[in-house]
Structure 1
Amino acid sequence: MDHERSRELYDRALSVMPGGVNSSVRATMPHPFFIERGDGGHVIDADGNRYIDWVMGYGPLLYGHEMPDPVSAAVQSHAAAGPMYGAPTEIEVEHAEFVARHVPSVESIRFVNSGTEATVSAVRLARGYTDRDKVVIMQGGYHGAQESTLVEGTPESHHPSTKGIPESFAEHTLPIPFNDPEAAKAVFAEHGDDIAAVLVEPILANTGIVMPIDGYHGTLRELCDDHGSLLIFDEVITGFRVGGLGCAQSKFGVTPDVTTFGKIIGGGFPVGAIGGRAEIVEEFTPAGDVFQSGTFSGHPVTMAAGKAYLEYAAENDVYEHVNRLGRQLREGITEICADRAPEYTVVGTDSMFKTVFTREAPDDDADCCMSGCRQDPSCSRYESCPKTGADVAAAETDRWERVFWQGMKDEGVFLTANQFECQFTSYAHTEADVERTLEAYRAVL
């Protein structure tokens, strides 16, 4: 493939943007390829190269790069009426009503502009509602670029995970391992009266897709109830992708007090949201005393796109299609790995998938999870499958980035560029896309 035009654009970008990109995950080696346009389940770069796209904008593109006609019509109608107003619109109310009807935890919702803004606001809300300061997070979890959660370590020894955050900001953040109920019990035994909330992704989705062990979220729910803390599910990635319109919380049967959203809830446009029990969410100003506001919050074009996105999914076979393709990919990759790289672990559920380059093969892969790791204790891989963010971090990340990703790109398959970000199927993808991707896996792995 020729990448001369992308190379030229990257050279120009380095002169005016830090690292040549506006989001660090886009800084692929040796340089990014610049996208010119999307086409269904594919993208075409600036040099005319065509790729099957499993990145899907890092999750929001449930329909790929072609919006269904009702979604496109809704977007065009609201865009034509004016860009924004600084005043409420009916479409905000309609979108909020739709979400509240379908998501178990949502009685009231505040729309914002990004997943990061949603989680920032949710942490402030939890602290204001409980009059407590400490927040429990999961090691390896990701909740956006915010000071309260860019923290690593243990409850006894923790510090910011990036420069630019004062040590004092991390004082009230308590990181614990995902899927370790004893660690959760211990942190509550030590700090329970001071914990405002547990903030957790139902599935670690920015760390190779780590499923919860059976009963883990139920344990978190009980601990929060016993100590008067809030359980916050970060469904920025899983929302309206895992578990259908009920989101991951309906799949796992655990209802949080507060849920954060992003990505799909805005139909591919910039968005975030915080939903939950009315008595909690209505602590936001002007109803309550926790300040929250934003110029572009509830933007009418985003609200129209998000509402039409979800309505189309409710009226068509969208989830059946994307979940079926996701299962076919995971099962196909599992078979290829069993033959060529038995130490690797295929992970994911519904329309999410990834291959984690783990380092230990099972003694017998005959009873391994064929459709993505489910944290099944009867599986022969159970002891070595990734259960925490640290397990994924110990995988062969350099091999993924420097060898595998590059090889798949050369085969015309666009995957997330690092070991950690997950990949997604869309309504625009086809079984032919799946087969072509499996062929690329066989050629590259």
Structure 2
Amino acid sequence: MRHDESRRLYDRALSVLAGGVNSSVRATQPYPFFVERGDGAHVIDADGNRYIDYVMGYGPLLYGHDAPEPVQAAVQKHSAAGPMYGAPTEIEVEHAEFVARHVPSVEMIRFVNSGTEATVSAVRLARATTGRDKIVIMQGGYHGAQESTLVKGEPGNVHPSTRGIPDSFAEHTIPVPFNDEETVREVFEQHGDDIAAVMTEPILANTGIVAPVDGYLQTLRDITEEHGSLLIFDEVITGFRVGGLQCAQGKFGVTPDITTFGKIIGGGFPVGAIGGKAQLVEQFTPGGDVFQSGTFSGHPVTMAAGHEYLNFAAENDVYDHVNRLGDDLRAGISDILEDQAPEYTVVGTDSMFKTMFTRDGVTPKNGADVSKAETDRWERVFWQEMKDHGVFLTANQFESQFVSYAHTDEDIERTLEAYKEAL
């Protein structure tokens, strides 16, 4: 493959964009390829190279790059009627009604513009409604670019994970290991009266895909109820991807107080949402006194795309298809690893997957396990090899990868052949 045009574009980008990109995860080595267009389950770069795409926009593209006709028609209809109004529209009501009918935790919802905005607002809501300040999060979990959760450490020794965040923010956040019931109980014994909420992804989906052990999410549900704290599920990634229309909370049978959404709920357009019990969500302004507002919130084109995205899934075999392909892909990779790299392991569920370059073949149980993986080997060797074989994966060891409705059995077979060569 030649990448002359991508190299030229990256050289231009370095002069006007910080680091040459608008999201740090896109800064692959030695430089990223620039996408010209999508085609079903594939992307074509600026040099005409074609790749099977498992990044899928980092999760939003349940249908790949060619949305179903009802989605395209709705987008065209609403964009032609006017880009936005600064006033309510019927489509945002219809979309909210659909989500409330299908997601167990959602009685009321507030649409925003990104997953980060959703989690920021959820933390504010939890603190306001409980009158408490502390938030418990999972080590290795990711809740967007917000000050309350960009922290690292352990109970009693916490500090910001990036420059630019005052230490005082980290003082109110308690990171605990995922799947560690003992530590979370100890934290509540010490700080229970001050904890506003536990916020967790039901599956750590930005840290190599770490599944909850049996009973862990229910433990979080029980202990938060016992201490008058809230349970927040961050389903920005898993929402409408894992567990179908009921999301991961439906799959695991645990209902949080608040759920944050993004990605698929907007049909490939910028979006976020906070859903939950009506008595909580209605505390947002103007109904309550917890400030939350946004110029582009409930954008009609996004609402139309998201609504038709979910409607199509409700009326077709979307989840059967993507989950079967996910099963086939994970099984195929597992067979290859057994023969060629038994120290590695494949993780994931439904239409999510990732090969973890672990050193001992043990499935990771928390963020610390993932951090021990051979990150450099993934980024500098494996990812490059897969790219050269025409397979586009997330560029580091941590982010999830996704199967879409546009992928085919032939795509899976070609991908497995690439794995055999690259490993």
Give secondary structure in 2 for the equivalent of 1:128: helix
RMSD of the TM alignment (CA)?
0.4
Match of 1:162 in 2: 162
* Aligned residue in 2 for 1:411: 389
SS where residue 202 of structure 2 aligns? Answer: coil
Matched, 1:420 2:398: yes
Q: Note the 1:192-231 alignment, pairs <5 A.
A: 192-231=192-231
Query: 1: CA distance between counterparts of 2:327 and 2:29?
Result: 30
- What is residue 443 of structure 1 aligned with on the other side? 421
Quote the Cα distance in structure 1 between the aligned partners of 2:293 and 2:273.
12
Alignment equivalent of 1:432, drawn from 385, 410, 421: 410
Which of the residues 376, 384, 392 maps onto 1:398?
376
Distance 2:273 2:87 in 1: 18
Which residue of the partner structure matches residue 134 of structure 2? 134
Q: Please report how far the alpha carbon of residue 169 of structure 1 lies from its aligned counterpart in structure 2 after TM superposition.
A: 1.0
Asked if 1:152 is matched to 2:160, the reply is no
Cα displacement string for residues 175-220 of structure 1 (whole angstroms, at most 9, x for unaligned residues)? 0000000011010001000000000000000000000000000000
Tell me the alpha carbon deviations over residues 96-152 of structure 1, each in whole angstroms, 9 at most, x when there is no partner: 000000000000000000000000000000000001000000000000000000010
Counterpart amino acid of residue 373 in structure 2:
A
Q: Tell me the distance in 2 between the aligned counterparts of 1:337 and 1:345.
A: 7
Name the counterpart of 2:345.
Answer: 345
**Percent same amino acid among aligned pairs?**
79
Counterpart in the other structure of 1:234: 234
Distance 1:186 1:80 in 2: 56
Counterparts of 1:55 and 1:240, CA distance in 2: 16
Q: Is 1:278 matched up with 2:278?
A: yes
1:155 Cα deviation after fit = 1.3
TM-score by length of 1: 0.95
Give the letter aligned to residue 388 of structure 2. Answer: D
Superposition pairs of residues 57-136 of structure 1, within 5 angstroms = 57-136=57-136
- The answer to whether 1:28 aligns with 2:28 is yes
Q: Which amino acid aligns with 1:393?
A: S
Tell me if the contact between 2:230 and 2:258 (Cα under 8 Å) persists in the aligned partners.
yes
One-letter amino acid matched to 1:288: G
Q: Which residue of structure 1 aligns with residue 367 of structure 2?
A: 389
Q: Which amino acid aligns with 1:398?
A: D
One-letter amino acid of the structure 1 residue matched with residue 171 of structure 2 = E
Q: 2: distance between equivalents of 1:46 and 1:279?
A: 50
1:171 corresponds in structure 2 to: 171
Residue identity matched to 2:324: R
Which residue number corresponds to residue 373 of structure 1?
none
**Given residue 261 of structure 1, which amino acid in structure 2 is its aligned partner?**
F
Contact 2:326 2:349 in 1 (8 A): yes
The one-letter code of the counterpart of 1:163 is R
Give me the whole-angstrom Cα distance separating, in 2, the residues matched to 1:433 and 1:406. Answer: 19
TM-score (norm 2): 1.00
Contact map agreement 2:40 2:66 (CA 8 A) in 1:
yes
Q: Deviations over 1:77-109 (max 9, x none)?
A: 000000000000000000000000000000000
The one-letter amino acid paired with 1:414 is: F
Whether the 8 Å contact between 2:379 and 2:395 is mirrored in structure 1 is: yes
Q: Spell out the pairing of 1:238-249 with structure 2 (5 A cutoff).
A: 238-249=238-249
Structure 2 Cα separation of the partners of residues 187 and 346 of structure 1: 32
CA offset digits 1:220-263 (Å, max 9, x no partner): 00010000000000000000000000000000000000000000
| Offset at residue 385 of structure 1 (A) | 2.0
Separation in 1 of the partners of 2:182 and 2:102? 33
Residues matched between the structures, number: 423
Shift of 1:345: 1.0
Q: Secondary structure at the match of 1:346?
A: strand
Tell me the distance in 2 between the aligned counterparts of 1:163 and 1:206: 21
| Matches of 2:250 and 2:343, distance apart in 1 | 32
8 Å CA contact 2:347–2:363 kept in 1: the answer is: no
Runs of 4+ in 1 over 6 A off after TM superposition: none
Matches for 1:263-412 after TM superposition, within 5 Å: 263-361=263-361, 384-412=362-390
Alpha-carbon distance in structure 1 between the residues aligned to 2:31 and 2:371: 23
Helix, strand or coil for the counterpart of 2:218?
Answer: helix
Question: Aligned partners of 1:345 and 1:210: how far apart in 2?
Answer: 12
Aligned pairs for 1:252-271 (under 5 A) are: 252-271=252-271
Q: What displacement does 1:403 show?
A: 0.3
**Structure 2 alignment gaps of length 5 or more:** none
Once the two structures are superposed, what CA deviation does each residue of 1:22-64 show, in whole Å capped at 9, x if it has no partner?
Answer: 0000000000000000000000000000000000000000000
| Aligned-partner Cα distance in 1 for 2:91–2:363 | 45
Secondary structure, aligned partner of 1:438: helix
